[in-house]
Structure 1
């Protein structure tokens, strides 16, 4: 009887098979990209970890309706524009004027959104005018790595928000027929959204949901650390942006926590910027205090209550 020989991937340079996989999945290398199959089906729970733009990428992926921003690529002969969503939820397209886009709000084809986006960027760098990439298809062996390999890790993003999807077409191009109908339908689904502009406030978005407005703020801290700081503010009665606001809960998105506040929608989005700035400073102070001051019993109870206040986007 012939002996069976196990086939294993060779360890990556400098990676111990028993150490965490560099992809960020949380699994050991030998059980992930160091195992048979290379970890193609491994779910990466925090795909943008390590990028200064992580929180903004999550906001653009999860709830910002219409926005664009130039990708800070390390190298490349072509400018690539990252978009929230493209026509037919395409993974990429090159507009008639030659502008190349990749989309964030797409169906993923693997467990690693960062790797799928890197492959869309690779496609966009060489695609021709008028080309479109409906989905990121099966791996063709060209492996561009992950988004972290392509972007400047220290670069931040300041997306341009749009009131509609007119930017799908080149300037001065009037839509007709099916294109006009598609634009009309997409525009009708947009919830008015504004990015708050204030010192120390990043990835915070005001959203008009109809009956009320919300602030959705993607935070970079670990969930447990952030919940502890929020609990400290809650016990002090400081977990708000001022009159007409209240903390509603939070939701998880790609490994980070997104706290949400209900806001009086009669106030303009810009009127909440000072409150967000002040809350950001209080939150930073609370985070710093955790290093030397453990949570009190009331704060621990508050933290447990906040942990259970999970909300769902609609």
Structure 2
């Protein structure tokens, strides 16, 4: 039976002796070894992008943003183009001119997205120009590729460019009719998305004619952020202006993503000032260390009731 992804087991002591699968696990959990540390079970990595420059943007490109790219540099100085998604959900590709593209929204994989992407990147770095990239079964048995944190230059900032369509798929490529048709089909499914400047991973999206949303991937520890949001909600300062609504938050790859409903007719650029003002209020609330008041505790409980885990 699969174990809960949120249940933690004690670490098993180092031992050079074989353990009887039916014997109690040396970690002291009280379970048989074959159902504990002998099962091969590994808990999901809560924050797979932790330690990477621009961690909130990695989360956004993985879960929120349809079409975006960012220059990436490996630890040994090779240039790579990070993309939200590649054709067919491919993990990576190498163009005829040698350009390497890595797709964050790769299909399949394991409970450690960083290792899946690192495995794909390592395969792309070894693949000849113009050849398909085959990283093997990501997350499959025997998969032990490197994590992104082992391959990426951790001192280079991540600068994201959001695109209106997937035209970057075919840049510098002589595409045939089938590729063009695939591109048009993919473009038809894109939701208008923009990155608000100077505000970290704050992404505006309009999913329909009636409403738009601001989805803001925050870097702060969850408990501290929830306390700050509760203070702002209790004081009536959590909104972004007239016609807005705090819709709740979801958790993705270990980070919290607050979401606001916005009027659809207001362009994305017009929300930059309101979001900047909110950022200032939030920073002030984050600095407050006083215990929550009764109203703030009730506000926090309300926030938690509207929070879900995406990944």
Residue aligning to 2:18: 5
Residue aligning to 1:104: 104
What is the root-mean-square deviation of aligned Cα atoms in Å?
2.7
TM-score under structure 1 normalisation?
Answer: 0.81
Tell me how far 1:310 sits from its aligned partner: 3.0
1:95 and 1:169 in contact (8 A); partners too: no
Structure 2 Cα separation of the partners of residues 311 and 114 of structure 1 = 22
1:259 aligns with 2:272: no
Structure 2 Cα separation of the partners of residues 275 and 67 of structure 1 = 24
Residue aligning to 1:302: 299
Residue aligning to 2:276: 277
Tell me how far 1:271 sits from its aligned partner: 0.9
2:123 and 2:134 in contact (8 A); partners too: no
1:47 and 1:112 in contact (8 A); partners too: yes
Residue aligning to 1:24: none
Tell me how far 1:84 sits from its aligned partner: 0.5
2:109 and 2:116 in contact (8 A); partners too: yes
Q: Structure 1 pair 43/288, CA: closer, same or farther in 2 (3 Å)?
A: same
Residue 261 of structure 2 aligns to a residue whose secondary structure is strand
Residue aligning to 1:233: 232
Residue aligning to 1:22: none
Tell me how far 1:176 sits from its aligned partner: 3.0
Structure 1 unaligned blocks of 5 or more: 8-16, 19-30
Residue aligning to 1:156: 157
1:53 and 1:155 in contact (8 A); partners too: no
Structure 2 Cα separation of the partners of residues 259 and 213 of structure 1 = 14
Structure 1 Cα separation of the partners of residues 93 and 233 of structure 2 = 46
Tell me how far 1:184 sits from its aligned partner: 1.1
Residue aligning to 2:171: 170
Residue aligning to 1:44: 45
Structure 2 unaligned blocks of 5 or more: 1-16, 21-25, 28-32
1:202 aligns with 2:203: no
Residue aligning to 2:11: none
Cα deviation digits, residues 267-293 of structure 1 (max 9, x gap): 11111111111111110110110x2x1
Residue aligning to 2:223: 224
**Number of residue equivalences:** 281
Residue 45 of structure 2 aligns to a residue whose secondary structure is coil
Q: Which stretches of structure 1, 4 residues or longer, exceed 6 Å deviation after superposition?
A: 139-142
Structure 1 Cα separation of the partners of residues 136 and 55 of structure 2 = 21
